[in-house]
Amino acid sequence: MKKRSLEERLQDGPVICGEGYLFELERRGYLQAGTFVPEVALDNPQALKQTYRDYMLAGSDVVLAFTYNAHREKMRIIGKEELLEPLNRQAIRLAKEVAKEHPEEEALVAGNISNTNLFNPDDPSSKEEVRSMFAEMISWCKEEGVDFVNGETFYYYEEAKIALEEIKKQGLPAVITFGLMGENVLRDGYSVEEGCRLLKEHGALVVGMNCFRGPATMQPHIEKIRKNVDGYVGALPIPYRTTEEHPTFFNLPDGGCACSIPTETTFPTSLDPLYCNRYELASWAKEAHETGVNYFGLCCGASPSMLREVAETVGREAVNSTYSPNMEKHFLFGSDENLQSHITSYKNKA
């Protein structure tokens, strides 16, 4: 089958983009929480390839190169600036290798740039430094042959706009998504729907939101974006039970924790009891699909099985849908006629 572009796939129906590598690779033991730098591309390439593969087979149309936080400023902070270009190129090359493995249609490969944590709206020199950082990363994306660039987790509109401008200079399609913090407005005063509308007008193919917020506190903003944007909208929440009182996972409390944790809040290493289950995520995906979202995914904390649930909910069948839950033959909760009734009748006492 001929490999369709991102725009062609969007025209044909919902597109799924697997994210969440940051927490998943930390959980698998290949990434340090706190610094959150994707050195795994160089240190453990097979682990990264398997993660890419797991999300792709769970329904992702896109293998997103894991270069989140792999920008010059972050690499400088950890004292490994010399690894910047090798890491970026390796992450893309590994993604391309995995994308070719898709048994039905070669997956898309996306380059990845993100919030720099350097941008300062009051400091013109910071803006030029950010632009330079984006420009070099996107040039490597172009040289390595990505299909589009995903610019994500921006909490300043102007930083997102710089990212879009640099992507467009390289002639690549752009997906740009905001990370909205707890004050419900971007840090430079724009509403998220206004930021998305402007980015669409400036040429982004997909605009929307990712990370920071779970389905409950992202969806109301997605609905506003959908009403204000004439084009493709993306939504990639985190799979945690955020609330109106605590709209992001940065300050999400866990009243059931019986120990003292070493971090100021449950973020990032004590969030486990606060997960949405896969059916909550499916419920959100149905609502988002009905809202008119075109580009679906999950962000930090997501597992492949969660992504598969989202994909199936919006009408997609994943390669690994063959392993989707089926309780028919379970020894306690099954209904198969070959099961023993003296066991199945005991289920409510088990």
Q: What is the DSSP string of 69-134?
A: T-SHHHHHHTT-GGGHHHHHHHHHHHHHHHHTT-SSSPPEEEEEEE--S---TT-HHHHHHHHHHH
Say which range, 5-9, 23-27, 41-45, 70-74, has the weakest mean pLDDT: 70-74
Report yes or no on 330 lying in a domain.
Answer: no
For residue 333, the model assigns a pLDDT of: 97
Mean pLDDT of 283-300: 98
CA-based torsion, 227, 228, 229, 235: positive or negative: negative
Report yes or no on 342 lying in a domain.
Answer: no
**Cβ–Cβ under 8 Å, residues 56 and 103:** no
Q: What is each CA distance from 185 to 114, 157, 179, 181, 190, in whole angstroms? A: 18, 10, 10, 7, 6
For residue 72, the model assigns a pLDDT of: 94
Query: What is the chain's mean pLDDT, rounded?
Result: 97
300 marked ligand binding residue: yes
User: In whole angstroms, what separates CA 20 from the centre of its chain?
Assistant: 5
Distance CA 332, CA 349 (A): 10
Report yes or no on 326 lying in a domain.
Answer: no
Report yes or no on 348 lying in a domain.
Answer: no
Report yes or no on 324 lying in a domain.
Answer: no
257 marked ligand binding residue: no
Write the DSSP symbol of residue 149: E
Q: Domain of 207: which CATH number? A: 3.20.20.330
Q: Quick one: tokens of 340?
A: 């023993």
For residue 286, the model assigns a pLDDT of: 98
- Quick check: 1 pLDDT over 90? no
For residue 57, the model assigns a pLDDT of: 98
Q: Quick one: tokens of 212?
A: 């920071």
Number of domains in the chain: 1
- Quick check: 193 pLDDT over 90? yes
Neighbouring residues of 260: CB distance < 8 A, sequence distance ≥ 6: none
Distance CA 165, CA 163 (A): 5
**Cβ–Cβ under 8 Å, residues 221 and 209:** yes
CA-based torsion, 122, 125, 126, 131: positive or negative: positive
Q: Residue 180 belongs to what domain range? A: 6-319
Report yes or no on 340 lying in a domain.
Answer: no
Report yes or no on 92 lying in a domain.
Answer: yes
- Top pLDDT among 2 and 122 is at 122
State pLDDT tens for residues 208-264: 999 999 999 999 999 999 999 999 999 999 999 999 999 999 999 999 999 999 999
**Cβ–Cβ under 8 Å, residues 266 and 274:** yes
Percent of the chain clearing pLDDT 70 (strictly above): 100
17 marked ligand binding residue: no
Report yes or no on 331 lying in a domain.
Answer: no
Sole residue written with tokens 């340090």: 32
Distance CA 189, CA 9 (A): 34
